[in-house]
Structure 1
Amino acid sequence: MTIQPFQLTDGSTQLGVNTPANQTLQTQLLPHGEQHARTYHKVSNRKLRVLMVTPRYFPYMGGVENHVYQVARRLAHAGTDVTVLTTDPSRELQAAEEVAGVKIRRVVAWPAERDYYFAPQISNVIAAGGWDIVHLQSYHTLVAPLTMLAAKRAHIPYVVTFHGGGSSSDFRNHIRGLQQRLLRPLLAHAERLIAVANFEVNYYGSRLHLNSERFVVIPNGCDLPQVNESSNKGEGTLLMSIGRLEQYKGHHRMIAAMPYILAHYPDARLRILGEGPYKSELESQAHSLGLAGRIEIGGISATKRSEMAATVASADLVTLLSNYETHPIAALEALALKRPVLVANTSGLQELAERGLAKAIPLTSTPQEIATAAVQQLR
């Protein structure tokens, strides 16, 4: 088995394993590799059929959505038959389409705009699809038990990637204990539990009483097209806070620090790169501080890789002051573009600091303390 580069549709190069896609996936995700997988399926004469299930997918934006997109399109490029199954609470999106070689299926979920929405058709798609393996991406919603239970009943092996050690939902935080008790038997039945950071192994292993040997750590990676940094640098000092627009992401902390940063860098600007339900609150905060002209809020589609790379490359400092993260792709992309990164010392973010890749400050830092840390990295 050799490793060789292959070209992706966007022109970027990745390292791929020169072996059938089904063998690659089995040896990476199942406990005992190809031999163990054969107890379930014989797929040597056809493409491996993989179903990735995620609560949300494009056009919704976020770390999990980007992770699923990047992994799914690479598997498809390597010859795997990949379908992403997701929900559509809005009932306005296409029920089926194909993007980057990956088939997308959307099922209706209700109630809309709630954290506890149901999508019972997930079970039907899993039962009827003839899948070789089901990969559950994110366990924080009711999509998780539906997916695992349906796969178990259909005798389809499944793996789980957790994606995070916290929740932006008050409802989910309130029922966290019940959720963990209900999900533990289904998680214990999974072929493999995938963590993107060591933090997740410790967090879920202790809370769910799962043996660490059930986990495999596969860190996130990133892939951005090359950019000419000098051609993308605008005027002034640009700080960038990246992530979905939700309160737990901590964008409000950077807004609060901006008046103190401006005392040192009068030309400073803040770009909050993301989309989400907290946008109006962030805009109100910026306006109340008289910073509306200094702060830009809005996202870039994860499919527009060149634009994303150019935008991040233009930053003088990238910040992620979230309440929790695991192994954020946004931070990795900034590091790949040689941008200094400032993070909160929480969950998986602290691991980046421990490896010397980012500077960490306490989550409880005051706006003045955040500004001081930012100014130190800008100098």
Structure 2
Amino acid sequence: MNSFNRHRICMVSDFFYPLIGGVENHIYQLSQCLIDRDHKVIVITHAYNDRVGVRYMTNGLKVYYLPFKPFYNNAILPTVFSTIPLIRSILLRERITIVHGHSSFSTLAHETMHHAKTLGIRTVFTDHSLFGFADLSSVLTNKVLQVSLADCHHIICVSHTCKENTMLRANLNSSKVSVIPNAVDASAFTPDTSLRPSSSVSDEIVIIVASRLVYRKGIDLLIGILPKILRKYPTVKFRIAGNGPKEIDIREVIEREGTEDRVALEGPVHHDQMRNFLNSGHVFLNTSLTEAFCMAIVEAAACG
């Protein structure tokens, strides 16, 4: 690739490693693919506990953990002005030519895109979730999205349904929006029935859940069906991967029902261990309310 086509790209989102999830993995994998194509890529995110400053990942991927603490649902407090000095300094120092924001929920993505536009840097935004139009949270988020994407150079959606949803929410022209479905490395997610309980030995059925344990992932639905399924089907067990504020509610249900031996809370499962985790069950369950293209479902399908 000649130098004329080489870009200096800034990926930005409140959601990145060490947090585990679809957006985080998408940003990392996309960055690695762009680095392989000879582009320069950096990532901007907020601090995670004591992880503050500059870190380097595979292939020299440079990650800026800015000294801003998450305010709500792992996103920073929206202020616009307090982030200007640091972000402006990074964008100019790294000579960024494209800023790529991820997730409608990410305050940092919207603010960095705004600062980039004042510096004449081109902006791209990827929307990963579906939203409604009626509840207060959706109304506020949609207004922010409408302002943020009004002069964004291009928007990427992960499914055709997501495109329709984003266009309605942000009042966008279809020519500004492209659909690029999420991809899964099929060589990394392959079936392995030896990891599942043998049907010839027992009638045990293991249901796998892999999700951030928050309201928008439909965890309230999961909490509602857990006791009903466990009472009706004595051979069913659950393995739940992920963490979040709803974890305590799940633990309360487990203790109330006395099913500690049938529901295992595994905590965060790293992506390199996800294949074995998915293969350890028979059924994959997703209850998300906002999923536009669930990576975990595709990975589970690839594992059979």
State if a TM-score over 0.5 links the two structures. yes
Deviation string, structure 1 residues 352-377 (Cα, Å, up to 9, x no partner): xxxxxxxxxxxxxxxxxxxxxxxxxx
What is the alpha-carbon distance in structure 1 between the residues aligned to residue 88 and residue 245 of structure 2?
28
Partner of 2:152: 190
Q: 1:244 to 1:107 in 2, by over 3 A?
A: same
Q: 2:53 aligned with 1:95, yes or no?
A: yes
CA displacement at 1:251 relative to structure 2: 3.4
Q: Which amino acid aligns with 1:320?
A: N
Q: CA deviation at 1:54?
A: 0.9
- Please report the RMSD computed on the Cα atoms of aligned residues, expressed in angstroms: 2.5
Contact 2:18 2:48 in 1 (8 A): no
Are residues 1:308 and 2:270 paired?
no
Match among 161, 167, 184 for residue 126 of structure 2:
161
**SS of equivalent to 1:105:** strand
1:266, distance to aligned residue in structure 2 (A): 2.3
**Alpha-carbon distance between aligned partners in 2 of 1:259 and 1:174, rounded to the nearest angstrom:** 31
For the residues of structure 1 that align with 2:127 and 2:241, how far apart are their CA atoms?
24
**Do the aligned residues in 2 keep the contact of 1:237 with 1:265 (CA within 8 Å)?**
no
Identity among equivalent pairs (%): 26
| 1:44 matched to 2:4 | yes
- 2:46–2:70: 8 Å Cα contact kept in structure 1? no
Query: CA offset at residue 89 of structure 1?
Result: 5.7
- Mapped partners of 2:209, 2:69: distance in 1: 32
Q: Take 1:152 and 1:97, find their aligned partners in 2: how far apart are those partners? A: 26
Alpha-carbon distance between aligned partners in 2 of 1:191 and 1:325, rounded to the nearest angstrom: 24
CA pair 110-229 structure 1, distance change in 2 beyond 3 A: closer
Identify the range of structure 1 (282-291 vs 70-79) with the bigger mean alpha-carbon deviation.
Answer: 70-79
Name the CA distance, whole Å, in 1 between partners of 2:223 and 2:142.
Answer: 35
Structure 1 residue runs of 5 or longer lacking an equivalent are: 1-19, 23-42, 168-172, 339-379
Query: Aligned pairs, how many?
Result: 289
Question: CA 1:190–1:280 in structure 2 vs 1: closer, same or farther (change >3 Å)?
Answer: same
Q: Deviations over 1:16-42 (max 9, x none)?
A: xxxx3x8xxxxxxxxxxxxxxxxxxxx
Q: Closer, same or farther in 2 for the Cα pair 1:283/1:160, shift >3 Å? A: same
323, 331, 338: which one aligns with 2:289: 323
How far off is 1:216 after superposition? 0.2
Aligned to 1:372: none
Q: 1:270 to 1:70 in 2, by over 3 A?
A: same
Q: Per the alignment, do residues 116 and 50 of structure 1 end up closer, same or farther by CA in structure 2, a change over 3 Å counting? A: closer
Mapped to 2, the partners of 1:228 and 1:201 lie a distance apart of: 32
Tell me the amino acid that sits aligned with residue 128 of structure 2: H
Deviation at 1:112, TM superposition (A): 4.7
| Structure 1 letter corresponding to 2:251 | E
Note closer, same or farther for the CA distance 1:324–1:93 as it changes in structure 2 (3 Å cut). Answer: same
Kindly state the Cα deviation for residue 249 of structure 1 after the two structures are TM-superposed: 1.6
Checking the alignment, whether the CA contact within 8 Å between 2:241 and 2:269 is kept in structure 1 is no
Q: 1:219 aligns with which of 181, 191, 197?
A: 181
The two structures have a TM-score, normalised by structure 1, of 0.69
Q: Secondary structure at the match of 2:149?
A: helix
Which is worse superposed, 80-89 or 321-330?
A: 80-89
The whole-number CA distance in structure 2 between the counterparts of 1:126 and 1:174 is: 34
* Structure 2 SS opposite 1:298: strand
Q: Which runs of 5+ in 2 are unaligned?
A: 199-203
CA distance in 2, matches of 1:84, 1:326: 23
Alpha-carbon distance between aligned partners in 1 of 2:90 and 2:213, rounded to the nearest angstrom = 31
User: Which residue of the partner structure matches residue 231 of structure 1?
Assistant: 194
Q: 2:253 & 2:70 partners in 1: Cα distance?
A: 30
- With over 3 angstroms needed to count, the CA separation of the structure-2 counterparts of 1:98 and 1:192, relative to structure 1, is same
Higher relative contact order (Cα pairs below 8 Å, separated by 6+ residues): 2
Q: Is the 8 A contact 2:104 2:127 kept in 1?
A: yes
- The reply to whether residue 295 of structure 1 matches residue 263 of structure 2 is yes
**The 10-residue stretch of structure 1 (325-334 or 193-202) with the greater mean CA deviation from structure 2:** 193-202
Alignment match, 1:241: 209
Q: Where do residues 248-263 of structure 1 align in structure 2 (5 Å cutoff)?
A: 248-262=216-230
The equivalent of 2:116 in structure 1 is 151
The correspondence for 2:303, drawn from 334, 337, 340, is: 337
Native 8 Å contact 1:63 1:243 kept in 2: no
Distance 1:174 1:228, change over 3 A: closer
Alpha-carbon offset, residue 254 of structure 1: 3.4
Contact 1:300–1:308 (CA under 8 A) maintained in structure 2: no
1:49 and 1:82 in contact (8 A); partners too = yes
**Do the aligned partners of 1:181 and 1:208 also contact (CA within 8 Å) in 2?**
yes
Whether contact under 8 Å (1:234, 1:314) holds in the other structure is yes
The 8 Å contact of residues 34 and 41 in structure 2, kept in 1 or not, is answered as: yes
Task: Label 1:209 to 1:258 Cα distance change in 2 as closer, same or farther (>3 A).
Answer: closer
Matched, 1:271 2:239: yes
Once the two structures are superposed, what CA deviation does each residue of 1:162-181 show, in whole Å capped at 9, x if it has no partner? Answer: 221239xxxxx646545544
